[in-house]
């Protein structure tokens, strides 16, 4: 039989408070609700039941009698057969509502309103520049008529008569330890513990009402798909003057028809004729800024070679140094040759010693890394 003090992890001279604290910690760690082992949970609960009762504790200290009929591990001496009850019900039942730290709906005057999420769609151009967006949102805001108090005459809410101001009412639940009283929020005051006697007719005593709003939200440059911009205090108003929640603007970045985004860099494909790839030249390409740029194509450019336009990408989040624009070249082989063109190309093949029928192992090469990336 293990030592009950050891089980709880306290010394023999532990105070009642030490024992309560230790049990709360152990029960959390071992309750099956939180992934613990049921046997361990039974053991620490039993240790607590003995050590938290002055008479049982004295008996245990003197005689080592922990009150177990045939020792632990045989059958179900504590009647756990019917399940444990939820961890929070168990802890609240031992220590009083709210001890478990879960929300019991007790009086919390300052419970803020909920946060609100809206989504905006941006183009890649918006991401480069940053943009100001009008956001439309339906949300509960503080009632103008009563200034958020909720009463018609402006008087402050008073103690709720249903729950006596506690904000919660007792409820009896069945657990492994028999019937336990637990608390749930008062339906009349919705857990606030206070109510107005003469409700504001505009908001029915809520102190807030649903409105349609248009807000102008600055969107900084460089954001990525899924980023959220917090707008403090622009969410739902709390009940009867409690603080507002926040508004979050979530960004969706629409795919661009030309540019793919790779972090700060942009990537696009450009087509150059085979003659230009061989001889060198320039291509004019559009950029995400809306201005065309002239990009040199070096002589001997191969398919898949990358031409880079410095600072042609997008800024980092919040604005700043921009990434680059990478142009992956696609070399276009001419088709539909007329007689003159065929003759010219034939002449080129002849001069370069490139027979039109070729063979040999030298024709095979490894795939170029630029092509496979
Ligand atoms: Zn009102
Ligand atoms: Zn109430």
361 or 343, which is more confident? 343
Quick check: 282 and 309 in contact, CB under 8 A?
no
**How far apart (Å, rounded) are the C-alpha atoms in residues 245 and 297?**
55
Q: How far, in Å, is the centroid of ligand 1 from the Cα of 229?
A: 30
* pLDDT at residue 21 tops 70: yes
Query: Looking at residue 16, what is its pLDDT?
Result: 87
pLDDT at 31 over 80: no
Q: 109 C-alpha vs ligand 2 centroid, how far in Å? A: 12
pLDDT value of position 340 = 97
Q: 198 CA to middle of ligand 1, Å?
A: 11
Tokens of 18: 């030490």
pLDDT class for 86, splitting at 50, 70, 90? low
Q: Going by C-beta distance under 8 Å and a sequence separation of 6 or more, which residues neighbour residue 117?
A: 228, 247, 248, 250
Find the mean pLDDT for residues 199-213. 93
Which ligand minimizes its atom distance to the CA of 167? 2
pLDDT at position 369 over 70: no
List, in sequence order, the alpha helices (H) in 248-298: 274-279
In this model, does residue 201 exceed pLDDT 70?
A: yes
pTM, rounded to two decimals = 0.59
Report angle CA 59, 63, 65 to the nearest 5 degrees. 70
The answer on pLDDT for 85 being more than 70 is no
Ligand nearest to the CA of 190: 2
Q: Any idea which residue has 């018609």 for tokens? A: 152
In a 13 Å sphere around the CA of 136, the CA atoms on its Cβ side amount to: 1
Q: Output the CA 236–ligand 2 centroid distance in Å.
A: 22
Q: Name the token pair of 310.
A: 């410095």
Mean pLDDT, to the nearest integer, of 46-53?
86
Give, in degrees to the nearest 5, the angle at Cα 313 between 311 and 319.
85
pLDDT at 89 over 70: no
**Rounded percentage of the chain residues whose pLDDT exceeds 70:** 85
Is residue 63 helix, strand or coil? Answer: helix
Provide the percentage of residues in the chain whose pLDDT is more than 90.
48
Give residue 159 CA to ligand 2 midpoint distance, Å.
8
How close is the Cα of 146 to the center of ligand 1, in Å? 4
- The pLDDT of residue 164 is 87
188-193 average pLDDT score: 81
Mean pLDDT for the chain overall? 84
pLDDT interval class at 100 (50, 70, 90): very low
Does the structure show a pLDDT above 90 at 257? Answer: yes
Q: Decide: 269 and 330 in contact? Cβ < 8 Å.
A: yes
Listed range (138-142, 189-193, 262-266) with the worst mean pLDDT? 189-193
CB 4: neighbour CB atoms within 10 A? 24
Ligand that comes closest to the CA of residue 168: 2
Question: What pLDDT is stored for residue 63 in this prediction?
Answer: 78
Q: What confidence score (pLDDT) does residue 253 get?
A: 96
How far, in Å, from the CA of 195 to the mean position of ligand 1?
13
In angstroms, what is the span from residue 190 Cα to ligand 1's centroid? 17
pLDDT in tens, 211-235: 999 999 999 999 999 999 999 999 9
Q: Measure 148 CA to ligand 1 centroid, in angstroms.
A: 6
Q: Is the pLDDT of residue 78 over 70?
A: no
pLDDT given for residue 353 in this prediction? 92
Task: Tell me how crowded residue 116 is: count the other CB atoms within 10 A of its CB.
Answer: 20
Pick the ligand that lies closest to the CA of residue 200. Answer: 1
Report how far ligand 2's centroid is from the alpha carbon of 169 (Å): 8
Sketch out the chain's domains with CATH numbers.
Answer: 4-84 (1.10.287.110), 116-253 (2.60.260.20), 260-372 (2.60.260.20)
Distance 236 CA to ligand 1 centre (A): 15
What confidence category does residue 34 fall into, taking pLDDT thresholds of 50, 70 and 90?
low
What separation in Å is there between the alpha carbon of 170 and the centre of ligand 2? Answer: 12
> Is the alpha carbon torsion for 125, 128, 132, 133 positive or negative?
positive
Name which of 302, 329, 308, 297 is nearest 262 in CA terms: 308
Residue 177: per-residue pLDDT: 72
270 vs 56, which has greater pLDDT?
Answer: 270
For residue 358, what pLDDT is reported?
A: 81
Residue, of 130 and 182, whose pLDDT is higher: 130
Structure-block tokens of residue 96: 């009083």
pLDDT at 39: 80
- Of the listed ligands, the closest to the CA of 203 is 1
pLDDT average, residue stretch 198-208: 92
| Residue 258: per-residue pLDDT | 94
| Whether pLDDT at 124 is above 50 | yes
Higher pLDDT, 175 or 342: 342
Q: Per-residue confidence at 327, pLDDT binned at 50, 70, 90?
A: very high
Q: Which residues neighbour ligand 1 (ion) by CB within 5 Å?
A: 143, 145-146, 200, 202-203
> How confident is the model over 128-134, as a mean pLDDT?
95
Give distance in angstroms: CA of 184 to centre of ligand 1: 27
Q: Which of 68-82, 157-171, 203-217 has the lowest mean pLDDT?
A: 68-82
């Amino acid at each position: 039989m293990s030592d009950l003090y050891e089980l709880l992890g306290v010394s023999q001279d532990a105070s009642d408070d030490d024992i309560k604290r230790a049990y709360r910690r152990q029960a959390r760690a071992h309750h099956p609700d939180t992934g613990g082992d049921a046997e361990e949970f039974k053991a620490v609960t039993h240790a607590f039941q003995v050590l938290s009762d002055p008479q049982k504790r004295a008996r245990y200290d003197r005689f080592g009698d922990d009150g177990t009929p045939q020792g632990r591990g045989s059958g179900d001496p504590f009647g756990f057969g019917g399940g444990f009850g939820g961890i929070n019900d168990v802890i609240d039942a031992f220590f009083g509502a709210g001890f478990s730290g879960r929300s019991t709906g007790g009086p919390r005057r300052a419970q803020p309103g909920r946060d609100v999420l809206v989504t905006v769609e941006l183009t890649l151009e918006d991401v480069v520049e940053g943009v100001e967006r009008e956001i439309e949102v339906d949300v509960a805001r503080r009632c103008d008529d009563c200034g958020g108090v909720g009463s018609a005459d402006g008087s402050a809410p008073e103690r709720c008569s249903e729950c006596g101001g506690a904000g919660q009412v007792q409820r009896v639940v069945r657990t492994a330890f028999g019937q336990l009283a637990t608390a749930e929020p008062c339906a009349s005051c919705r857990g606030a513990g206070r109510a107005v006697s003469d409700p504001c007719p505009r908001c029915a005593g809520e102190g807030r009402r649903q409105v349609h709003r248009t807000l102008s939200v600055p969107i900084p440059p460089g954001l990525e798909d899924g980023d959220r911009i917090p707008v403090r205090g622009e969410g739902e108003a709390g009940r009867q003057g409690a603080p507002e929640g926040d508004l979050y603007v979530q960004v969706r970045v629409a795919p661009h028809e030309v540019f793919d985004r790779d972090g700060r860099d942009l990537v696009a494909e450009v087509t150059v004729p085979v003659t230009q790839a061989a001889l060198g030249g320039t291509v004019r390409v559009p950029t995400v800024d809306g201005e065309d740029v002239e990009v040199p194509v070096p002589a001997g450019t191969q398919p898949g070679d990358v031409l880079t336009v410095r600072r042609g990408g997008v800024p980092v989040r919040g604005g700043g140094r921009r990434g680059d624009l990478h142009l992956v070249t696609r070399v276009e082989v001419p088709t539909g040759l007329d007689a003159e063109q065929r003759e010219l190309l034939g002449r080129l093949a002849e001069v370069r010693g490139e027979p039109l029928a070729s063979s040999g192992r030298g024709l095979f090469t490894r795939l170029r890394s630029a092509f496979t990336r």
